C-alpha cells in the first residue's frame, strides 16, 4: 500500500496552488487565499513568505479596504521579474512574446508569414531572432522559467514534432521543437502544442470559459481546429492529436478538404469557402446551399458578385475603381464579408448563412457527443459566428438533443487573436506552477 504524501510533498503542492491562484486571478489578499484554498492563516502566511523569498510574488498593503481593522496583505505576482517566452506559429503570422507571471505581455514581436509550403528556417529563424532581441532588453535580475509555442498543425506531444499541417503545405514530421531548442539554447526545453488545444486551455483558465468544467473551443484560421475540455482537463488523445474537430465529416458529398476527405467541417466553413461563396475569390460566382440554406447562383436574374458591397453596383469602401472588391485574405477578408453583410450585401449575407448552417451542424454533433456547458468561437470563426449566429442556433435547435443543449452557452473568445499565444504562455508556465521553487532553481542554474 502506497504511503500518503509527505509534508514536503504537501507543501510543494500548496506552493503551486497558491501561485496558480495569483497567476490566474491577479492580486489576491491573504484572507481570500485562506478562503479559496481552505487553509489556515498561518499556513498561507508561511507559503507566501516562501514565494516572496524566491522572488515569485510580493506582498503589499491594499490601496483601499473600506473596512475597519487591520487590512489583509495583498499577494501580487512578480510579473516584471518572472517571465516566459511564448510563440504563435499561425498560417499567415509569426508572433513572439515575453509574458510575465500573471499573464501580462511585457514585450512582443510579430511578422507576416507567407502561406503555403515552408522551410523550417522560415519559421524558426524569425522567432529565435525575436526571442534573442527581447532577452537582450531584460534586466539582470529577471528570470525566464519556460518556453513554449502554439503551432497551427498536429503536434506530437512527446517530442514536439509537427506531424501534419494540411493547410500549410507539406508540413509532415517537422522537428520544430528540436530546432527551436538548438537555435535558442536557453537551457530549457521548448514545449510545443496544437494552437487550438492551447487556446482552449487559455480560454478555460483566463478567458470566457473560466469556471466551466466542460467546454469546446472552435478555432478558425485557414481551416478549423478545436480544443475539448472535459471535467477541467484537455482531451488530448493517445498521442496528443485529439481535438481535430475540423476533420469531422459533416457533408460526405461535399467539398474536398486539404486532408483528402470530402465534406470535412473545415472544408464547409473555412476561410476559402466563405470567400468563394461571397464572390471574393477570383472565379467564384455562387453560394452553394448548406443543409436547408437558400441557394444563390450565377445566371439570369442572379446577383452580380462583381458589384461592390451594395446591391446597386455603386463603388463602396473596399471596392476597386472598376467595381471589383479588393482581394483580401485571412481574418481581414472574413471581417470584410461580415461587414458587407451588416451593410445589406445579399451575397455576403447568403454566404454567411450557408457557412453558418454547416457550422451549426458541426456544433450540434459536438454538443450531442460531449454535452458541453459552453462552446467558444475563436480565430476567424469569431467573426463568422457573429455574422451567422441565427443560423448556428437554428441548426442547433433542429439537430442537437434538447437535453444536451439545455443550459448551453455560445460565446466568442475573450482573448481574441491572442488566445493561441496566451495558451502557449500557459504551457510555458506549467512547470513553475506545478513546483515553483524547484522550477525556479532549475531556471536559475
Render pLDDT for 25-73 as a digit per residue (tens, 0 to 9).
999 999 999 999 999 999 999 999 999 999 999 999 887 655 655 678 9
- Is 362 exposed, middle or buried (CB count within 10 Å of its CB: 0-12, 13-18, 19+)? buried
Q: Over pLDDT 90: what percentage of the chain?
A: 69
Output the pLDDT for position 442.
87
pLDDT of 95 strictly over 50: yes
The model's pLDDT over 390-419, given as tens digits with 9 standing for 90+, comes to 999 999 999 999 999 999 999 999 999 999
**CB-based burial label for 52 (10 Å; 0-12, 13-18, 19+):** middle
Q: How many CB atoms lie within 10 A of CB 42?
A: 9
Instruction: Reply yes or no on whether the pLDDT at 184 is more than 70.
Output: yes
What residues contact 50, with CB distance under 8 A and at least 6 apart? 15, 437
Tens digits of per-residue pLDDT, 225-270?
999 999 999 998 888 888 899 999 999 999 998 888 999 999 999 9
Exposed/middle/buried for 25, CB within 10 Å: 0-12, 13-18, 19+?
Answer: middle
443 Cα distance to chain centroid? 27
- 212-224 pLDDT, tens digit per residue, is 999 999 999 888 9
Q: Determine the pLDDT at residue 10.
A: 93
Distance between CA 79 and CA 208 in Å, rounded? Answer: 22
Closest CA to 347 of 279, 290, 396, 291: 279
Whole-Å CA distances, 161 to 44, 171, 191: 41, 10, 10
pTM for the structure as a whole: 0.86
Total count of residues recorded for the chain: 445
Specify the pLDDT at position 327: 60
Is the pLDDT at 424 greater than 90, yes or no? yes
Amino acid at each position: 500500500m502506497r504511503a500518503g504524501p509527505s509534508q514536503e510533498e504537501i507543501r510543494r503542492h500548496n506552493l503551486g496552488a497558491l501561485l496558480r491562484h495569483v497567476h490566474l486571478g491577479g492580486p489576491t489578499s491573504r484572507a481570500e487565499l485562506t478562503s479559496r484554498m481552505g487553509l489556515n492563516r498561518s499556513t498561507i502566511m508561511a507559503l507566501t513568505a516562501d514565494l516572496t523569498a524566491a522572488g515569485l510574488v510580493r506582498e503589499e498593503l491594499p490601496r483601499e479596504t473600506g473596512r475597519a481593522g487591520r487590512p489583509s496583505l495583498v499577494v501580487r505576482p512578480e510579473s516584471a521579474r518572472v517571465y516566459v517566452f511564448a510563440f504563435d506559429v499561425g498560417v499567415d503570422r509569426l508572433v513572439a512574446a515575453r509574458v510575465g507571471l500573471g499573464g501580462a505581455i511585457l514585450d512582443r514581436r510579430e511578422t507576416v508569414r507567407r502561406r503555403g509550403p515552408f522551410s523550417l528556417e522560415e519559421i524558426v529563424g524569425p522567432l529565435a531572432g525575436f526571442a534573442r532581441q527581447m532577452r537582450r532588453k531584460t534586466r539582470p535580475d529577471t528570470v525566464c522559467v519556460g518556453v513554449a509555442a502554439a503551432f497551427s498543425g498536429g503536434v506530437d506531444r512527446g517530442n514536439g514534432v509537427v506531424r501534419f499541417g494540411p493547410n500549410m503545405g507539406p508540413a509532415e514530421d517537422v522537428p520544430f521543437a528540436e530546432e527551436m531548442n538548438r537555435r535558442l539554447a536557453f537551457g530549457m526545453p521548448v514545449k510545443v502544442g496544437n494552437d487550438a488545444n492551447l487556446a482552449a486551455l487559455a480560454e478555460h483558465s483566463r478567458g470566457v470559459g473560466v469556471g466551466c468544467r466542460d467546454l469546446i473551443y472552435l478555432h478558425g484560421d485557414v481551416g478549423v481546429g478545436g480544443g475539448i475540455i472535459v471535467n477541467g482537463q484537455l482531451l488530448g488523445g493517445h498521442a496528443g492529436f485529439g481535438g481535430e474537430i475540423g476533420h469531422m465529416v459533416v457533408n460526405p458529398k461535399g467539398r474536398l478538404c486539404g486532408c483528402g476527405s470530402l465534406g470535412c467541417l473545415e472544408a464547409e466553413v473555412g476561410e476559402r469557402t466563405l470567400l468563394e461563396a461571397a464572390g471574393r475569390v477570383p472565379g467564384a460566382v455562387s453560394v452553394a446551399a448548406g443543409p436547408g440554406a437558400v441557394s444563390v447562383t450565377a445566371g439570369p436574374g442572379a446577383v452580380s458578385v462583381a458589384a461592390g458591397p451594395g446591391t446597386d453596383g455603386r463603388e463602396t469602401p473596399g471596392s476597386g475603381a472598376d467595381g471589383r472588391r479588393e482581394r483580401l485574405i485571412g481574418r481581414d477578408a472574413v471581417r470584410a464579408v461580415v461587414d458587407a453583410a451588416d451593410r445589406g450585401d445579399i451575397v455576403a449575407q447568403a454566404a454567411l448563412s450557408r457557412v453558418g448552417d454547416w457550422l451549426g451542424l458541426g456544433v450540434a454533433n459536438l454538443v450531442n457527443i460531449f454535452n458541453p456547458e459552453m462552446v467558444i468561437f475563436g480565430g476567424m470563426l469569431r467573426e463568422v459566428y457573429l455574422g451567422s449566429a441565427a443560423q448556428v442556433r437554428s441548426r442547433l435547435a433542429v439537430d442537437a438533443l434538447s437535453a444536451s443543449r439545455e443550459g448551453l452557452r455560445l460565446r466568442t473568445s475573450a482573448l481574441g487573436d491572442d488566445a493561441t499565444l496566451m495558451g502557449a504562455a500557459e504551457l510555458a508556465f506549467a512547470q513553475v506552477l506545478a513546483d515553483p521553487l524547484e522550477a525556479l532553481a532549475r531556471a536559475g542554474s
